[in-house]
Amino acid sequence: MKKINLGTIVLYILLAVGGLIMIFPFIWMLISSMKTWAECGSMPPTWWPKDPTLENYVYAFKTAPFLKYFRNSLIVTVLCTGITMFNTILCAFTFSRLRFPGRDIIFSIMVSLMMIPYEMLIITNYTTIVKMGLYDTLAALIIPFTSSIFYTYILRNFFLSIPDSLYYSARIDGASNWQYLWNVMVPIAKPSLVTIGLLNALTCWNSFMWSILVVGSVNNRTLPFGLFAFTDQAGIRFERLMAGSSIVVIPVIILFLFCRKQIVTGVSKGGLKG
Amino acid sequence: MAEKKVRKYKDSDEKITAKSLITPFLFSFPFMVGLLIFTVYPFIRAVLLSFMEDYRFLSGKFSGYGLGNYTAIFNDPNFINALKSTTKYVLIVVPTSLAISLLVAVGLNSVKKLQGLFQTAYFLPMVTSATAVGMIFRWLYDFDYGLFNYFLGFFGVDKIHWLADVKYTMASICIYGIWSMLPFTIILLLAGLQNIDPIYYTAAKADGAKAKDIFFNITIPLLAPTIVLTSIVNVMSAFKVYDSLFVLYGAKPGPAFNLYTVIYYLYDQFWNKNKLGYAAASAMVLFAIIALFTLLQNLVTRKTNYYN
Amino acid sequence: MKVTIKDLTKRFASRDKTGETVTAVDTLSAEFESGKLIALLGPSGCGKSTMLNMLSGILPVTSGKIYFDDKDVTELSPDKREVGLVFQNYALYPHMTVLENICFPLKIKKVRKEERIAKAVEIAKMVHIEDYLKRLPKELSGGQQQRVAIARALVKQPKLLLLDEPLSNLDAKLRIEMREEIRRIQRESGVTTVFVTHDQEEATSISDYILLMKLGVMQQFSATRDIYNNPANLFVADFIGNPTINQIHGVYVNGGIKPDGSDEIIPCSIKANENDRVVLAVRPESVLFEGGQTTGTVNDMYSSGKDWLVNFNIGDTELRGYCDADYNVQEGSVIKVGFRDKGQFLFNEETGERY
């Protein structure tokens, strides 16, 4: 029998307490969202709703078009991620496999562009979107974000690690650059692509400030914007606001439970290079 | 027979033909269009805007180039205030979250069971919407029914106006800031710890080192590059704090403008006041800060040769 | 298919910034007969892989021409050359099964699915991997991966099969097995094959012709038997053969060689100019331990199975020769040796040229 170390037990307890503190806001969000107004405003607070109710959710979906927000968020996330991935794959391929004069110089310029804070760009991007006639459309939430240098950088590094001999082999087998990319490189890079796709999808889903600038009508709001606007509709009724927050957060929690490993790898791989 | 003159690459005999140039052009075209329109162009324009004097938003006219916008914002107490409070925020949040993260990461690295469960708990805040999280913290900070005040009650402390009292606003955003910075920091430190070859620990144990000695003499020095780089990245992200403050304070810059951060100032000048020149100038200041830290990051990376 | 190479040259810019160029292949001309197995042989850095890559089209040439039959393919891109190439590391697509790997060239050619599977299976049978079609490359041994790579190269019925150091990643036993397999497969398919190797034994054991290179310059191109029996220069004589050929440095005097550090003159039927510095090269099996006139001292001897390998000195020069197991000598014995005419060559010491 292995002796159970007292220190180990203490460590587990400390980690558990810490973990609980970290997710507590979300637990509290879910609990509060199922309380009645009266219970939510009672002191001392109850740790579990006496009479769990989904009424706040019903209210949220009725008062504000959360279903529509949800749909918009989904469209924006899926399209933006799809287009971004497509662009990223092609661009990473260009800068890792193809040859043309000035390739390395252009790429290092691109890398240095990464340090431009996004907020610096909104001043002009707002005008550009308006001029393109895309103000108050879902496209305005997608188009400016489809060229990510950061993801290209990560993917290019991965592409560079694929041996040249595979490329030459494929070329001799008769494959064009395009066929090689989609038949060989992309399948091999699948884990990296999944990671990048997940990170991108999360960013899209949570994106907020830009949508406030370029979306005017209720119909084109995404979830975070919708939730923010919900404050006006729900007033300071936290049980309702928590129901609204849950609608935004729960899909992400589910995604995270399933894809934690890929997301964490992506963050740890890309974190220090960005 | 006249030999046709063909351009070749210097280091190989590959010919530079129109066809060999058109492939990379077509492949990177969709990306480059987006990059030029939504990154390169607005960047150049922001730089120019920051030097344009008396820029009129509607007519697009300006009186000339100069440093007017910069002198204006540096004489604007609100901007100075924004710089100060952002710096203060960075100085509190980054070291604190780093210290906590270090403890958690070392803890996580040494447990074998329940890794998945712990990781889920510690990392979840990283992926959730800042808007929703801002909303939740607003609820936790609530004066009458918020949990923070309820817990303070246990210690006999009077209720605090977390979000409304000028004295406590910095504390409230820092608590939030630390909490939200932890997951990312823990992930990076944990990855750094997992990269340390266990042979060092074995060797140290063989030399009779105790857990404390190992931590300070082996773990910390070997983790040092990761710690430095993580801090730099965190400083940059902390400088850009905005989204959740926006939600936390209901789109207001806090009581008495004391939550004006650099980005807040930028948005405010751009969106509410239509002072594009000021917005661009403050963006340039932010850019300078970020560029400085990026440079530092590259320097550290090169010096420690972290990735090899 | 016949392959003709004319004045083929490849220069690389050197890695440092001096701007100097390195000539990897220097005005090389040769003609590879159809259906034969040709070995490109030479020490590392001799330009043999560069040659192969130019044949496949991966590397553009600096100058010179390559013809497949009568067609000039010098400027043709790899996908249009109808060659098959097997890399040293096999370059199997890691995400595809064996069958998918073999099918890939046909898939690119848009061959119908049933047809390409039928063809792939047929080839797989020829290289004896039909039992592993569903596996991924990483689940195969080195030898099996090698077979898959060959199958993939052959499935599109190339006119020329190129193998780049195909055996160097295998262990010794498998290497011998696989080289015989390559020989068999080449015979069965009848495809003109060029393979690169730095191992002279590998080259001599399976190829029809050997093209031996040194620092980008062709030293000799001839039938495998000839290159051993009739080396063009000292480098060729030295490179081919195991154990390596004996070399006696000395001066040509009175129709014989006076080795350095000895006063005796070794008689030699090959003519050279009086007082030339020469190298007498003798294959170990051409050393005679009976009926000779030159004095030697035995250093040591090893059993090499059926006979002994004797290590002895003539003057300052150390030589090796084979003798019968019952030949009675021991370390320190003074012996009389002679050299058979066959397997005996005379070279100019300075130029390496053969007399």
What are the pLDDT digits (tens) for C251-264? 998 888 888 888 88
Q: How confident is the model at residue A118 (pLDDT cuts 50, 70, 90)?
A: confident
- CATH code for the domain in which residue B222 is found: 1.10.3720.10
Contacts of A261 (CB under 8 A, 6+ apart): none
A141 within a domain of the structure (yes/no): yes
Indicate if the pLDDT at residue B12 is higher than 70.
no
Does A255 lie at the interface with C, CB-CB under 8 angstroms? no
Q: Spell out the domains of chain C, with CATH numbers in brackets.
A: 3-239 (3.40.50.300), 246-348 (2.40.50.140)
Indicate if the pLDDT at residue A236 is higher than 80.
no
User: Which candidate from C81, C93, C105 shows the least CB-CB separation from A166?
Assistant: C93
B289 within a domain of the structure (yes/no): no
A20 within a domain of the structure (yes/no): no
CB contact under 8 A, B128 and A26: yes
Q: What is the pLDDT of residues A78-93, one digit of tens each?
A: 999 999 999 999 999 9
Predicted pLDDT at A3: 60
Q: How confident is the model at residue B299 (pLDDT cuts 50, 70, 90)?
A: confident
Please tell me which residue of chain C has the smallest CA distance to A171.
C79
Indicate if the pLDDT at residue B258 is higher than 70.
no
**Strand arrangement, sheet containing C266-267:** C266-267, C256-259, C246-253, C277-282, C344-348
The distance of A98 to chain C (nearest Cα, Å) reads: 13
A179 within a domain of the structure (yes/no): yes
A9 within a domain of the structure (yes/no): no
CB contact under 8 A, A206 and B188: no
**Pseudo-torsion of CA C261, C267, C268, C271, nearest 10°?**
90
Q: Which domain holds residue B137?
A: 71-256
pLDDT, mean of residues C39-62: 90
Q: How confident is the model at residue A1 (pLDDT cuts 50, 70, 90)?
A: very low
Q: Could you write out the three-class secondary structure of B182-212?
A: HHHHHHHHHHHHHCCCHHHHHHHHHCCCCHH
Compute φ and ψ for C8, nearest 5 degrees: -70, 130
User: Which candidate from B8, B11, B15 shows the least CB-CB separation from C12?
Assistant: B11
- Cα B48 from Cα A114, distance rounded (Å): 19
Selection from A2-16, A41-55, C136-150 with the highest mean pLDDT: C136-150
Q: How confident is the model at residue C115 (pLDDT cuts 50, 70, 90)?
A: very high
Indicate if the pLDDT at residue A190 is higher than 50.
yes
Residues of A in contact with B272 (CB under 8 A): none
Indicate if the pLDDT at residue A197 is higher than 80.
yes
Q: pTM of the entire structure?
A: 0.86
Number of domains, chain B: 1
Higher pLDDT, B7 or A46: A46
Predicted pLDDT at C163: 93
Indicate if the pLDDT at residue C329 is higher than 80.
no
**Cα separations (Å) of B149 from B153, B163, C94?**
6, 12, 59
Indicate if the pLDDT at residue C231 is higher than 80.
yes
Mean pLDDT score across all residues of chain A = 89
Please tell me which residue of chain C has the smallest CA distance to B20.
C77
CB contact under 8 A, B27 and A103: no
Share of residues in chain C with pLDDT > 90 (%) = 46
Residues of C in contact with A187 (CB under 8 A): 95-96
A27 within a domain of the structure (yes/no): no
A4 within a domain of the structure (yes/no): no
Higher pLDDT, C224 or A40: C224
pLDDT, mean of residues B102-108: 91
Least confident segment among A29-33, B18-22, B248-252: B248-252
Q: How confident is the model at residue B254 (pLDDT cuts 50, 70, 90)?
A: low
A35 within a domain of the structure (yes/no): no
Predicted pLDDT at C66: 94
The distance of A167 to chain C (nearest Cα, Å) reads: 9
B174 within a domain of the structure (yes/no): yes
CB contact under 8 A, C108 and A173: yes
Q: Is the ipTM above a cut-off of 0.85?
A: yes
Least confident segment among A48-62, C5-19, C193-207: C5-19
Least confident segment among A100-104, B302-306, C213-217: B302-306
- Cα B179 from Cα C191, distance rounded (Å): 68
Please tell me which residue of chain B has the smallest CA distance to C10.
B13
Note whether C37 and C183 are within 8 A (CB): yes
Q: Which domain holds residue A187?
A: 54-270
Predicted pLDDT at A272: 62
Predicted pLDDT at A92: 96
A240 within a domain of the structure (yes/no): yes
- Cα C103 from Cα C152, distance rounded (Å): 7
- Cα A152 from Cα A149, distance rounded (Å): 5
Indicate if the pLDDT at residue A75 is higher than 80.
yes
CB contact under 8 A, B136 and A245: yes
The distance of B302 to chain C (nearest Cα, Å) reads: 22
pLDDT, mean of residues A71-75: 94
Number of domains, chain A: 1
Q: How confident is the model at residue C281 (pLDDT cuts 50, 70, 90)?
A: very high
pLDDT, mean of residues C214-236: 92
DSSP chain B: -PPPP--B-TTS--B--HHHHHHHHHHHHHHHHHHIIIIIHHHHHHHHHHHEET--TTT----EESSHHHHHHHT-HHHHHHHHHHHHHHHHHHHHHHHHHHHHHHHHHH--TTHHHHHHHHHHHHHS-HHHHHHHHHHHT-TTT-HHHHHHHHTTPPP--TTT-HHHHHHHHHHHHHHHHHHHHHHHHHHHHHTS-HHHHHHHHHTT--HHHHIIIIIHHHHHHHHHHHHHHHHHHHHT--HHHHHHTTTS--GGGTT--HHHHHHIIIIIS--HHHHHHHHHHHHHHHHHHHHHHHHHHHHHTTT-
B238 within a domain of the structure (yes/no): yes
- CATH code for the domain in which residue A128 is found: 1.10.3720.10
Please tell me which residue of chain C has the smallest CA distance to A179.
C108
Q: Which amino acid is at C325?
A: A
- Cα C143 from Cα C168, distance rounded (Å): 11
**Cα separations (Å) of C205 from A60, C283, C286, C303, C326?**
82, 18, 20, 23, 30
Contacts of C70 (CB under 8 A, 6+ apart): none
Does A184 lie at the interface with C, CB-CB under 8 angstroms? yes
Least confident segment among A237-251, B75-89, B239-253: B239-253
Helix or strand run (H / E) with residue C239? helix C234-239
Please tell me which residue of chain C has the smallest CA distance to A180.
C108
B236 within a domain of the structure (yes/no): yes
Share of residues in chain C with pLDDT > 70 (%) = 98
